[in-house]
Amino acid sequence: MSATPSKTSTVASAVALRTTAEAIVSPLILPALLLCDFSHLSQEIENLEQAGARALHLDVMDGHFVPNLTYGPTIVEAVCRSATVPVEVHLMIERPEDTLALYQRAGASVITVHIETLSDPRSMLNQIRSLGLSAHLALNPKTDVHAVFDVLDACDGVLVMSVEPGFGGQAFLPGTLHKLRAFVEERNRRQLKFRLAVDGGIDQKTIGLTSHAGAQWFVAGSSVIRSDNYAAAISSLERLAADAISIHS
């Protein structure tokens, strides 16, 4: 059994992790573990890191906010202990404020919460930041971009969902592209700094479109985990994303 870290050391290491997450250069591919072999979890993490993953994405689902149930702080802690790269924890749960501290203690670097679950988004984002973590705000495909405009200044990142959340392996929703462009426009207009992330149906066919539209972080589940070769999948996604920026920027 591992010792419980002191509050001071926990905050200090969280600050270091936040710095690590912020120092990551774009485009960044974040493999999502949702479809991996959980009977060999640490091996999967090692394989992904050896294949070039520079961060990982964990999908926490509660069976209420989304129609699927995955894992909670115990598994997140196990992943963070095994991983050497920063871990983003995507909370698809109702009342995320109730368990936020558990995910911080588990070792998350980035916490992503859904606007649809929050009565006071600014306060939640500030709480995440006050724990020394990067605060990302996600929005579902049916949620209008304007629903989050008011709090963009409190976001380290915005995660645009490009599928209905709940399951891996779904098809990319093309309506995502105009949302990404709207966030880029608003960020420029107000001179904000949040990073733009996209999650759902990201593969070799769709990543360039999202990169061209402004995405910088790309969550990739099935396109990496269901491939025969993690390294080839990650590097081809990274290259396609980078090519789409360099052609059009």
Strand blocks (E) in the chain: 28-31, 56-61, 87-92, 110-114, 134-139, 157-161, 195-199, 217-220
* Interface with ligand DX5 (CB under 6 A), residue from 106, 163, 207, 209: 163
Active-site residue set: 59, 199
Q: Are strands 157-161 and 134-139 parallel, antiparallel or unpaired?
A: parallel
Nearer to ligand DX5, 66 or 132 (CB): 66
Q: Which of 48, 67, 65 is nearest to 56 (CA)?
A: 48
Q: Which residue of this chain has its Cβ atom nearest to ligand DX5 in the complex?
A: 221
**What does 93 interact with, of ligand DX5, Zn ion, none (CB < 5 to 8 A by kind)?**
none
Of 166, 192, 235, 245, which lies in the binding site for ligand DX5, with binding defined by CB under 6 A? 166
Q: Give the dihedral sign, CA 26/232/75/114.
A: positive
Least distance in Å: CB of 16 to ligand DX5?
25
59 near Zn ion, judged by CB under 5 A: yes
Residue with Cβ nearer ligand DX5 (112 or 132): 112
Smallest distance, Å, CB 206 to ligand DX5?
10
User: Partners of 58 in the beta sheet?
Assistant: 89
**62 touches Zn ion by CB under 5 A:** no
Which among 29, 35, 45 is positioned nearest to 80, based on CA atoms? 45
Residues 41, 77: Cα–Cα separation, whole Å: 12
Which residue stretch of 7-15, 129-137, 143-151, 168-176 sits at the interface with ligand DX5 (rule: CB under 6 A)? 168-176
Side chain identity at residue 108, one-letter code = A
Q: Toward ligand DX5, which CB reaches closer, 59 or 238? A: 59
Which 79-138 residues touch ligand DX5, going by CB under 6 A?
A: 90
Do 127 and 96 touch, CB atoms closer than 8 A?
no
Question: Does the footprint of ligand DX5 cover residue 34 (CB under 6 A)?
Answer: yes
Amino acid (1-letter code) at residue 174: P
